[in-house]
Structure 1
Amino acid sequence: MSNPTRSASTDELEAVFQRELVTDRWAAAETAFALASRHRDLTDWSASREWVQQCLRLLEGFPAEAEEQVATRRTSVGGVQLPNYLHAGVVQARFGDLG
């Protein structure tokens, strides 16, 4: 997926996530957020919940005391807009009961 603003399928995003999980865990957390959003938009609540939980698990491994520690590196992933900051509070606010 060379164009980060193009709408990617969930299968494409999952393949990206698997690569990032090994090479860049922060990018993987951003992609997990995008997958949770994409599945929510498709009304696949179960899959969205799984990706929310995966995102939260990944975020547990990062410090979150300062803004620069939680600032997203990308504006979007696979056509899904990312928030400016990514931490558990943002995920809970965006996904509510799915978290």
Structure 2
Amino acid sequence: MTVQTRLASAEELESVFQRELTTDRWAATETAYALAVRHRDLGDRPKSREWVQQCLRLLEGFPSDTEEQVATSRTSVGGVQLPTYLHEGVVRERFGDLD
């Protein structure tokens, strides 16, 4: 039996992001990544790029020396699958050239 997860809208994810930003910065980083994916999937490349940059800024505040430090705490956010590990290299690989 498969369970379908409803995809959260970009607006719903942005609301979640704002709440997480004040309570759990790692969760906010994961949500920023999910927002980048969601906007990319919607075809809004500029908005996706904004969320990629937000995700990268947040990642700068976390250590990334071990797999344990970059392991995501959730498998998905709002129906968007997260990578197993979240760090700058993964983000740049998945979203390509950001300039």
TM-score normalised by the chain length of structure 2: 0.93
Count of matched residue pairs: 95
- Residues 75 and 84 in structure 1, CA contact (< 8 A), matched pair in contact too: yes
Q: Does 1:31 align with 2:31?
A: yes
Distance (Å, rounded) in 2 between the aligned partners of 1:62 and 1:81: 21
- Residues 48 and 98 in structure 1, CA contact (< 8 A), matched pair in contact too: no
Distance (Å, rounded) in 1 between the aligned partners of 2:15 and 2:98: 23
Q: Extract structure 1 runs of 4+ deviating beyond 2 A.
A: none
User: Aligned partner of 1:8: which letter?
Assistant: A
The corresponding residue for 2:13 is 13
Structure 2 unmatched runs, 5+: none
- Measured against aligned partners, the alpha-carbon deviations of 1:3-57 in whole angstroms (never above 9, x if no partner) come to xx43100000000000000000000000000000000001100000000000000
The corresponding residue for 1:81 is 81
User: Aligned partner of 1:64: which letter?
Assistant: S
User: Aligned partner of 1:89: which letter?
Assistant: G
Provide the secondary structure at the position in 2 that maps to 1:50. helix
Q: What is the Cα-based RMSD across aligned positions, in Å?
A: 0.9
